Structure 1
Amino acid sequence: MLIIAFIILLSLIGCGTKKDHLSLGSSSDFNDKPGIEGYVVAKEKGRILVVDPVPQDFSKTGGVSEFYNAIWFSNVLSDIKVGEKVQVWFDEVAESYPGQSKAKKIKVLKNNTLSGTDLTEAEAIQKALDQVHKKSTSVEVKAVKKVSYDPSTDLWRIQIKQGEETFNIEVSDVID
């Protein structure tokens, strides 16, 4: 009987300390580099979705050739806007896609307002994301790949990847 009680106790201890639902890639020390740097591509219910614009290539191991790290973060300030580029420090991430985590620290990177433009980079990205949302019925994560401004045409050119589809969006540099 004592042996059975010991085995049950050992099993319970093992179950209580295992963290199957967590993955690496966190940044718990604020002096470290952020866990992710990317664009805020969605915002809902007090959370933001941050997607790294630099893809990872997993094709050599049988995965996809263009994987964009994406994490939903809770514990965010309400003034963070879709389109802004941010750095986020965090601890643990739930293994889902997109991942889910609680932000420990968020730094909004300088919002580029180019000389002679009416829109900021973030505002142009937000308009481009809105256009993709209207064109696509897909629920897959959107990744901002490229952002540029052409002063000769007064257009922002933004490339957004969603699933297998790439959207090349032009946004007029006009404040609505």
Structure 2
Amino acid sequence: MRTLIMIYVALLLTACGYGTVGSNDEPNILLPGDSPDIYGYIMVKDRDGILVVNPEGKDFSHTKEEEDYHEAIRVRMNTDAEVGEEVEVWLEGGVEESYPGQANGDKIKVVPEKKPDGADLYPSEALRKAIDKHALGQGVVVVVSSTYEDEEDQWQITLKNTFSTEEERERIVVRD
């Protein structure tokens, strides 16, 4: 009986072990804190921090709640990153559960961008001009799409107000 218990304990401890998935050449390891807490565009910047809004909506229709929820966090931190830039942000501590959420920033990384062929503006510059022009009112504004049209030498940027009960969108043309 004692031998049987020892075998059971050994199997249990073996099953509770941990390891990595992947080959010895390229282990697939992701340590806590390696991935950002939020990804998105800086939609507002002021002396207190930045508002980062994820353009990728989450579908909560199975809960009869929001069908298109966009994560948004007001991050308290000093940064050189500008409105319109795509960023990854790591947070320090918890997130205050409001909409948008509020948290202290620990680290920020601006996602590298390149100009489309024929464009004079970077995508972030065009988005910044669209954000300055929009008339969606107060609320959390999210980027729906951003496209450079080479033949017209312009950007087509569509923004949406997440506070609107209707599908309130605004398409803004930014000359390049």
TM-score category by the smaller chain? 0.7 to 0.9
Task: Tell me if 1:144 matches 2:143.
Answer: yes
Identify the structure with bigger relative contact order (alpha carbons < 8 Å, sequence gap 6+). 1
Alignment partner of 1:62 out of 53, 61, 64: 64
Deviation at 1:99, TM superposition (A): 0.4
SS at match of 2:78: coil
Pair member with larger Rg: 2
What is residue 153 of structure 1 aligned with on the other side?
152
Q: Does the CA contact (< 8 Å) of 2:50 and 2:77 recur in 1? A: no
Q: Which runs of 4+ in 1 moved over 3 A?
A: none
Deviation at 1:116, TM superposition (A): 2.1
Q: TM-score scaled to structure 2, two decimals?
A: 0.76
Alignment partner of 1:35 out of 28, 31, 37: 37
The count of aligned residue pairs is 141
Kindly report which structure 2 residues correspond to 1:1-176, keeping only aligned pairs within 5 A, or say none: 29-31=32-34, 33-77=35-79, 79-90=80-91, 91-132=93-134, 135-136=135-136, 138-162=137-161, 163=164, 164-173=167-176
Q: Deviations over 1:29-61 (max 9, x none)?
A: 432x11111000001123000000000111211
Structure 2 residues without counterparts, runs of 5 or longer: 1-30
Deviation at 1:113, TM superposition (A): 1.6
Query: Structure 1 CA distance, aligned partners of 2:68 and 2:94?
Result: 23
Q: CA RMSD in A?
A: 1.5
Query: Structure 2 CA distance, aligned partners of 1:112 and 1:145?
Result: 19
Residue type of the alignment partner of 2:138: V
Query: Structure 2 CA distance, aligned partners of 1:86 and 1:46?
Result: 17
Deviation at 1:112, TM superposition (A): 2.5
SS at match of 2:124: helix
Deviation at 1:72, TM superposition (A): 0.5
SS at match of 1:86: strand
Query: Structure 2 CA distance, aligned partners of 1:116 and 1:46?
Result: 37
Residue type of the alignment partner of 1:80: A
Query: Structure 2 CA distance, aligned partners of 1:103 and 1:29?
Result: 16
Q: Does the CA contact (< 8 Å) of 1:30 and 1:105 recur in 2? A: no
Residue type of the alignment partner of 1:59: S
Residue type of the alignment partner of 1:89: W
SS at match of 1:102: strand
Structure 1 residues without counterparts, runs of 5 or longer: 1-27
Q: Deviations over 1:50-94 (max 9, x none)?
A: 0000001112112111111000101231x2100000001114100
